[in-house]
Amino acid sequence: MKTTIITRLLASLIPLLAIMCLVGYWYAKDILQYKNQPLTLTEPTIITVTSGTSLLKLTQELEQQGIITESWKVRLLVKLEPYLGDIKAGLYQMVPGDKLVDFINRLRLGQEMVFSVTFVEGKTIKEWIPVLQGLEHMRYDENVFIKVLEANGDTTGLPEGKFFPETYHYRVDETLFSMMQRSYLMMQTHLAQAWEQRDPDLKLNSPYELLIIASIIEKETAKDEERNWVSAVFNNRLKKGMRLQTDPTIIYGMGDRYKGNITKKDILEKTAFNTYRIDGLPPTPIAAPSKASLYAAANPAKVNYLFFVSRNDGSHIFSSTYKEHNRAVNEYQRKKK
């Protein structure tokens, strides 16, 4: 008798349990599917996640902004998949086409927004400063270059040319010092490698002198095929005791007085950088040289050129004698045949 009652009871409970399991399954499935809802966005949106913010609180804020719905489901979602609640503070971006899970995964992995800045080769520290002052989410420090030099044991206070021109990526928690430290160390690495691989016939005495020549090469030509020839002209002149006589050094020595034209008076003016008036090298680089110019400075072409003159199209005519050079000047600069 008792067995019959129990059997009947079980027979009535099994369907109920099955229904409950089925309901639970579909309910759990609905919660898990919740994370796949598309974000309601028409344009990229930036959001700051502060330390200690929970995923539930964050999604509640998103719901208030109309970006998602039913944020209450996040509490249950995190119970089913606890790892989703382990989000990191930072600055993040949501873009049209994102699903909620895409955004949550960025938060979990700490994939913060990344900003970039390009320091252009051939530019001076003074020309880089407005770029640094305009950086997003990074505070400018007018003493950053000196601080980086001092941190690396360079007490000269002469930053020109010592920072590598490149595109740098940064996040909101990085400082300007940290980024410029990367730039400084990158230049030191490339400079050391170029110096190590230098031509034995190079008429330079130190990596810093190589940096100076490389900066002048950078200002003289943007054509890769000419860099080693320009380097050869300078190296040949140094070996012969000739002055470099390069216009970019005049311009650098003029500073803000330069208005786009070099006069005879400018050529005759004796500044510390005017290589028409001083022997040897200027005291510092005159710009930030590229990697190509560093290696060209270290390995001049095996040619006997001593002169070059612009064709006014970005390229140059190279000559071994003053007579050949004067002919080229007449043709391309004085417009005489």
pLDDT digits (tens, 9 = 90+) for 220-245: 998 999 999 999 999 999 999 999 99
Cα–Cα dist 246/232, whole Å: 13
Say whether pLDDT at 24 is over 50: no
Say whether pLDDT at 75 is over 90: no
Residues in the chain, total? 337
Residue pLDDT, tens place only, 78-132: 888 899 999 999 999 999 999 999 999 999 999 999 999 999 999 999 999 999 9
Q: How much is the average pLDDT of 299-320? A: 91
Q: How much is the average pLDDT of 62-76? A: 89
The two structure tokens encoding residue 16:
């109920």
Cα–Cα dist 328/316, whole Å: 10
Give me the helix-helix angle, 176-196 and 291-298, nearest 10°.
30
User: Domain-by-domain residue ranges, the chain?
Assistant: 23-109, 115-191, 199-332
Q: In terms of DSSP bridges, do strands 167-170 and 307-310 run parallel, antiparallel, or are they unpaired? A: unpaired
Q: Which fold has domain 23-109?
A: Dna Ligase; domain 1 (3.30.1490)
Say whether pLDDT at 170 is over 90: yes
Residue pLDDT, tens place only, 245-264: 999 999 999 999 998 889 99
